[in-house]
């Protein structure tokens, strides 16, 4: 089941993901999450830990979703024509605010805390267990 159950090893750490002025109110923008991967005795720097979708909601307020599908962990994309998120693996669909609109996903997209620091968006990055209705933190 790797990487579905893999933890980042650094539960809920704040990670800088984008410049605030590179984002939009009109549509979500994807950003890579890059940080340290800690696994037992090893630590690797500059590892891609995941992807997030970001959208400006208002002054200094940014909405963020982990791009991992809550069904089986595929990377969810955004369809600008339909203004919704779609998972390419088993066709789950999510509204702009992350709610399930169809497909086998057991819950909404996982939202993440954000904050603005020096004109950059930082995300409290976490992963969650797939295939369950509840949000269960993996780290
Ligand atoms: Fe997304 Fe199955 S992994 S619908």
Q: Residue 139 — pLDDT band, cuts 50, 70, 90?
A: low
Dump pLDDT digits (tens) for 72-110.
Answer: 999 999 999 999 999 999 999 999 999 999 999 999 999
User: CB of 114 within 8 A of CB of 2?
Assistant: no
- Expressed in angstroms and rounded, the spacing between residue 106 Cα and the centre of ligand 1 is 10
Task: Give the span between the Cα atoms of 4 and 68, in whole angstroms.
Answer: 9
State the pLDDT at residue 101.
98
How is 13-77 classified by DSSP, letter by letter?
EEEEEEEGGG--SSS-EEEEEEEEEEETTEEEEEEEEEEEEEEEEETTEEEEEE-B-TTT-PBPE
Percent of the chain with pLDDT over 90: 81
Dump pLDDT digits (tens) for 4-25.
Answer: 555 555 567 899 999 999 999 9
Residues with CB under 6 A from ligand 1: 69, 71-72, 74, 87, 89-90, 92, 103-105
State the pLDDT at residue 59.
86
Mean pLDDT of 52-70: 96
Dump pLDDT digits (tens) for 113-129.
Answer: 999 999 999 999 999 99
Q: Residue 43 — pLDDT band, cuts 50, 70, 90?
A: confident
Task: Give the span between the Cα atoms of 101 and 22, in whole angstroms.
Answer: 28
Ligand 1 atom nearest to CA at 88: 1
State the pLDDT at residue 3.
54
């Amino acid at each position: 089941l790797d990487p579905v159950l893999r933890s980042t090893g650094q539960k809920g750490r704040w990670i800088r993901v984008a410049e605030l002025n590179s984002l939009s109110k009109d549509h979500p923008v994807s950003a890579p999450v890059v940080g340290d991967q800690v696994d037992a005795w090893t630590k690797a720097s500059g590892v891609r830990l995941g992807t997030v979708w970001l959208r400006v909601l208002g002054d200094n307020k940014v909405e963020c979703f982990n791009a991992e599908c809550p069904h089986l962990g595929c990377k969810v994309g955004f369809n600008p024509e339909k203004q919704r998120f779609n998972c390419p693996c088993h066709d789950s669909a999510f509204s702009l605010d992350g709610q399930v609109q169809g497909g086998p996903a057991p819950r909404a997209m996982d939202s993440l805390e954000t904050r603005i620091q020096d004109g950059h968006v930082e995300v409290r990055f976490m992963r969650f267990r797939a295939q369950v209705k509840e949000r269960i933190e993996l780290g």
